[in-house]
């Protein structure tokens, strides 16, 4: 779990870095009002976080369901 | 449906819509401006809500004939999950309205009726809490739900059309489909709807599984 969390944090850091590098260059080409990428990165991080949380709840629930099965 | 592939699909679609919805091209329209992108986020909330309420009414009808507690629990938990999406739809709609119609709540028929339809389902939950006996609760709330569902459909899709409304698709206003939803927007809008419906269904299954576990523990 710790390893996964650590690699996730590392990934998030690199996402932000690459977004900052590309964002400045690409915003001029694709969109006249730049820095929209910052918002996109934030929204994606929030969504990824919430979805990862949902997956972890699901996983825990599965574990409890398995524990409860043999009893009944 | 106890597999993971559709959960991953839903997650991928939702993340895709966040990226594509903000970055891909949209039609240039006055008043709406960039807020047209809200279509990818505000409308799917309502679709997810309607799908969840449909699941609920399906299990309500089923529970009347099967008299099974599981069907009753499925009906409640899908309403519980659906209400979250309905509230999110109301709030995002109000914010969008502030910057296009001028006010958060202009007592537009669509807004009012949407709020009433969410209240209908709050009433469903309150009705359930008011009845202690399980068999009676399942039966009465199932019948209420069967009446509430067509009411919700009428409130959301029929009545606003008969009145003057600012909302697209109502009161003589053309819907988004007719002229602004071009092929670029469809590429994001349909995946967004499917993605949020899947996420909504996922939340419902989690809530249902939690409740059935709690139920088992109470029985033991």
Mean pLDDT split into 10-residue runs, chain B, 220 residues: 85 92 80 82 94 96 93 95 94 90 89 94 95 93 95 90 78 60 82 95 94 86
Phi-psi region of B127 (alpha: psi -120 to 50; beta: other; left: phi over 0): alpha
Interchain CB distance below 8 Å, B14 and A39: no
- Please tell me the predicted confidence (pLDDT) of residue B158: 86
- Given a cut of 50, the residues of chain A with pLDDT beneath it are 21-30, 72
Interface of A to B at Cβ within 8 Å reads 30-31, 36, 39-40, 43-44, 47-48, 51, 54-55, 57-58, 61, 64-65, 68, 71-72
Residues of A in contact with B19 (CB under 8 A): 40, 44
Q: Is the confidence metric ipTM above 0.85 for this complex?
A: no
CATH number (domain holding residue B199):
1.20.120
Q: Which of B18, B206, B217 sits opposite A40 (nearest CB)?
A: B18
- Please tell me the predicted confidence (pLDDT) of residue A1: 65
CA closest to B2 among chain A residues: A62
Interchain CB distance below 8 Å, B7 and A58: yes
- Please tell me the predicted confidence (pLDDT) of residue B27: 77
The parent domain of residue B169 ranges over 5-219
Interchain CB distance below 8 Å, A72 and B210: no
Cα separation, A60 vs A71, whole angstroms: 18
Inform me whether the C-beta atom of residue B130 falls under 8 Å from chain A C-beta atoms: no
- Please tell me the predicted confidence (pLDDT) of residue B179: 52
- Please tell me the predicted confidence (pLDDT) of residue A8: 62
Which pair of tokens denotes residue B130?
A: 């008011």
Interchain CB distance below 8 Å, B14 and A30: no
Q: Which of B11, B19, B213 sits opposite A65 (nearest CB)?
A: B213
Is the Cα torsion angle B8, B12, B13, B18 positive or negative in sign? positive
Residues of B in contact with A48 (CB under 8 A): 15
- Please tell me the predicted confidence (pLDDT) of residue A15: 54
- Please tell me the predicted confidence (pLDDT) of residue B172: 62
Interchain CB distance below 8 Å, B210 and A61: yes
Residues of B in contact with A26 (CB under 8 A): none
The pLDDT tens digits of the residues spanning A48-57 come to 989 999 999 9
- Please tell me the predicted confidence (pLDDT) of residue A27: 45
- Please tell me the predicted confidence (pLDDT) of residue B186: 85
CA closest to A45 among chain B residues: B15
CA closest to A39 among chain B residues: B22
Cβ atoms < 10 Å from Cβ of B129:
9
How far does Cα A53 stand from its chain's mean position?
A: 10
- Please tell me the predicted confidence (pLDDT) of residue B177: 60
- Please tell me the predicted confidence (pLDDT) of residue B173: 64
- Please tell me the predicted confidence (pLDDT) of residue A39: 76
Number of domains in chain B: 1
Angle, alpha carbons B61-B192-A58 (nearest 5°): 65
- Please tell me the predicted confidence (pLDDT) of residue B182: 74
């Amino acid at each position: 779990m710790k390893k996964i969390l650590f690699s996730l944090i590392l990934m998030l850091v690199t996402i932000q870095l690459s977004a900052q590098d590309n964002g400045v260059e690409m915003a001029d080409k694709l969109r006249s009002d730049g820095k929209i990428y910052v918002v996109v990165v934030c929204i994606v991080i929030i969504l990824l976080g919430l979805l990862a949380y949902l997956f972890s709840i699901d996983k825990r629930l599965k574990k409890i369901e398995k524990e409860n099965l043999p009893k009944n | 449906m106890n597999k993971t592939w559709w959960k991953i699909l839903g997650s991928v679609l939702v993340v895709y819509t966040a990226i594509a919805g903000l970055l891909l091209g949209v039609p240039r329209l006055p008043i709406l401006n960039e807020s047209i992108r809200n279509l990818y986020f505000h409308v799917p909330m309502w679709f997810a809500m309607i799908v969840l309420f449909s699941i609920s009414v399906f299990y309500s009808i089923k529970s009347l004939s099967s008299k099974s507690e599981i069907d009753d629990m499925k009906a409640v938990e899908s309403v519980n999950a659906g209400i979250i999406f309905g509230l999110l739809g109301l709030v995002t709609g109000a914010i969008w309205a502030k910057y296009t119609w001028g006010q958060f709540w202009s007592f537009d028929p669509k807004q009012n009726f949407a709020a009433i339809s969410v209240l209908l389902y709050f009433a469903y939950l309150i009705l359930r809490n008011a009845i202690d006996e399980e068999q009676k609760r399942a039966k009465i709330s199932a019948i209420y739900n069967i009446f509430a569902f067509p009411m919700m459909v009428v409130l959301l899709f029929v009545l606003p059309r008969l009145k003057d409304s600012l909302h697209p698709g109502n009161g003589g206003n053309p819907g988004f489909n007719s002229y602004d939803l071009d092929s670029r927007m469809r590429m994001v809008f349909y995946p967004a709807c499917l993605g949020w419906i899947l996420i909504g269904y996922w939340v419902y299954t989690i809530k249902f599984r939690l409740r059935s576990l709690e139920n088992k523990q109470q029985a033991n």
